[in-house]
Amino acid sequence: MDLESLRREYLHGGLRREELIDDPLDQFSLWMQQALDLEIYDPTAMTIATVNEEGQPSQRIVLLKHFDQDGFIFYTNYGSRKSNELDSNSKVSLHFPWHVIDRQVKICGTASKISPVESLKYFLSRPKESQIAAVASHQSEVLTSRSSLLDKFESIKQKFKDGDIPLPDYWGGYRIVPHEIEFWQGGANRLHDRFRYLRHENNWLIDRLAP
């Protein structure tokens, strides 16, 4: 397996300071819309990195479900590993890997739970099978077998076949309030364009970073 010789050029175009929007949330919105318009695979998929009390980082992929000037929202089981780590250390990093258009976005910020009302609104918008899965799975816990999970899924499905599924108290959303956002655009000869937005009081400072 020869990995050292694997390489390609990044030729989708550069990024210049004069092209950037002063507000990084507006810049992110522009890039997300472009990713959606291009129909790239899973544009809302983002890696989220958390750190436990021993300082051990952990990463996983979740889906971005909403963003605005208040931050970035995703949903999960509040008993999961990521939630337990966020309880002890609310600092978090997000990463969007849009490889097909030679772009990346990295976000550093602080996570906090959204209100139950907000979580319920999204929960009710999900397909019923997804609602059942949220109830059936105690995320990150050890399973004796896959069949035990499927049995629990079917049991809950039958229990609520004629009624609404209540929002579990162990499931809901987090909002990531960013203090740093970096936009990365691949460039020829590994001379990539990187711009970092840093929050300073009520404004954002923008710096070009070396690739």
| pLDDT tens figures, 94-119 | 999 999 999 999 999 999 999 999 99
Could you tell me what percent of the chain has a pLDDT over 70?
100
pLDDT tens for 47-84 read: 999 999 999 999 999 999 999 999 999 999 999 999 99
For residue 116, what is the enclosing H or E element? helix 116-125
User: What are 195-203's contacts with CB under 8 Å, separation 24+?
Assistant: 195/15, 195/17, 195/20, 197/24, 197/27
Q: Cα-flanking dihedrals φ and ψ of residue 206, to 5°?
A: -115, 125
Whether 44 has a pLDDT exceeding 80, the answer reads: yes
104 neighbors 95 (Cβ within 8 angstroms): yes
d(CA 46, CA 67): 13
Q: Tell me what pLDDT residue 4 has.
A: 86
Most confident of 57-66, 136-145, 154-163: 57-66
Q: What is the C-alpha end-to-end distance of the chain, expressed in Å?
A: 28
Tokens for 206?
A: 């923008």
Whether 187 has a pLDDT exceeding 80, the answer reads: yes
pTM here is: 0.92
Q: What share of the chain is helix, strand, coil (3-state, %, to 5)?
A: 30, 35, 35
195 neighbors 207 (Cβ within 8 angstroms): yes
Whether 11 has a pLDDT exceeding 80, the answer reads: no
Domains of the chain in start order, with CATH, are: 17-126+169-209 (2.30.110.10)
Q: Is 190 a catalytic residue?
A: yes
Could you tell me what percent of the chain has a pLDDT over 90?
82
Question: What does the H/E/C string look like for 3-69?
Answer: CCCCCCCCCCCCCCHHHCCCCHHHHHHHHHHHHHHCCCCCCCEEEEEEECCCCCEEEEEEECCEEEC
Instruction: Count the Cβ atoms, other than its own, within 10 Å of residue 52.
Output: 13
Whether 19 has a pLDDT exceeding 80, the answer reads: yes
Reported as a pLDDT band with limits 50, 70 and 90, residue 138 is: confident
Q: Tell me what pLDDT residue 2 has.
A: 86
Catalytically annotated residue among 8, 190, 196, 208: 190
Whether 121 has a pLDDT exceeding 90, the answer reads: yes
Beta partners for residue 107, in sequence order: 94, 181
Tokens for 122?
A: 């999204």
Q: Tell me what pLDDT residue 70 has.
A: 95
Reported as a pLDDT band with limits 50, 70 and 90, residue 184 is: very high
